[in-house]
Amino acid sequence: MKAPLVSVVIPTYNYGRFLPEAIESVRAQTYPRWEIAVVDDGSTDETTDFLERQGPEVRWWRQANRGVSVARNRGIEETRGDLVAFLDADDRWSPTKLERQLERLSRSEAGLVYCGVEYVDLHGRALGVNLTGQSGNVLAEMALLKRPVILGIGSTCLVRRECFEKSGLFDPRLSTSADWDLVRRIACSYPIEMVREPLVQYRLHPTGMHRRLDVFEHDMLLAFAKLFEDPAASSVHGLRARGYANLYGSLAGSFLHAGRRRKALGYALRALAAHPSSLLYLGAWPLRALARRAGRAQDGIEPSVPET
């Protein structure tokens, strides 16, 4: 049988300085059947000039700035590969990324396979490796937010196209949590697999979306509301109280870490009201914060770098 075509969707907004590295990392793949689709979401930097110099191997579209979810959806709709992989314009892949993921996908019924990440700084210097994540039926884990399920979704995931037909595209109302929401919907119908190798170099820098706490708050509250209203996720609706308690506890910790104590206290009280077990979660937060800082120091990552 002919090897499946992988459509590589690269959304970009003012990341022209990183985009050449991202595209070259696709060209360097050991798996040969891929197409590149870049969606320029209204960039005002050198992105257009660079894309105009590319040959027919790189297909691209320019649109008014409408957000990363709309850009990724455009890429999905403009391509026809049996599989879709996403790569953020400021990240890059290791050469065997697609090959290793296709090996795993071919041996399972998974709808999505992802991989570990290596964190790098603005200049591509290594900061540390993260291989945490879950495989199998991960919906309950996602509903409880008890531990990381999937890493760096915007650059690590390889998805069967049929998943989008069954579960829908990215929700344009979401930005920082659009990835989580999409994976959650896929997890309602498919198992998830992981290649536990750092096959993506994930760039950490001050303008990254993971630092936008207020947007993250809005997105996760909306994503959780969708989860517990979705008939396809009925198997985990009984986890609603515990799930919301963990979400509120996570938001309380995030706001406390950011020095916003009033918001932190508000979410701590909401967590306690949602489920009594959150008392243990909140009480252990300082210990978890110390453990995270110690782990980052061991990996060579500065304590100020947030988790992804």
Mean pLDDT of 284-296: 49
Q: Kindly tell me if the per-residue pLDDT of 308 is higher than 70.
A: no
Q: What is the pLDDT of residue 146?
A: 75
Q: Kindly tell me if the per-residue pLDDT of 304 is higher than 80.
A: no
Structure tokens given for 204: 């950490």
Task: Give the model confidence (pLDDT) of 146-202 as tens digits.
Answer: 778 888 889 999 999 999 999 999 999 998 899 999 999 999 999 999 999 999 999
Q: What is the spatial distance between Cα 80 and Cα 19, in angstroms, rounded to a whole number? A: 22
The alpha carbon torsion through 144, 145, 149, 153 (nearest 10 deg) reads 130
Q: What is the pLDDT of residue 176?
A: 86
Q: What is the pLDDT of residue 206?
A: 67
Structure tokens given for 150: 């999937």
Q: What is the spatial distance between Cα 166 and Cα 57, in angstroms, rounded to a whole number? A: 29
Which of the four pLDDT bands, split at 50, 70 and 90, describes residue 211?
low
Mean pLDDT of 280-307: 45
Structure tokens given for 138: 């991960």
The CATH fold of domain 6-208:
Spore Coat Polysaccharide Biosynthesis Protein SpsA; Chain A (3.90.550)
Task: Give the model confidence (pLDDT) of 230-285 as tens digits.
Answer: 999 999 999 999 999 999 998 998 898 889 999 999 999 999 999 877 665 565 55
Residue type for 142, please? Answer: M
Mean pLDDT of 34-61: 96
Q: What is the pLDDT of residue 89?
A: 97
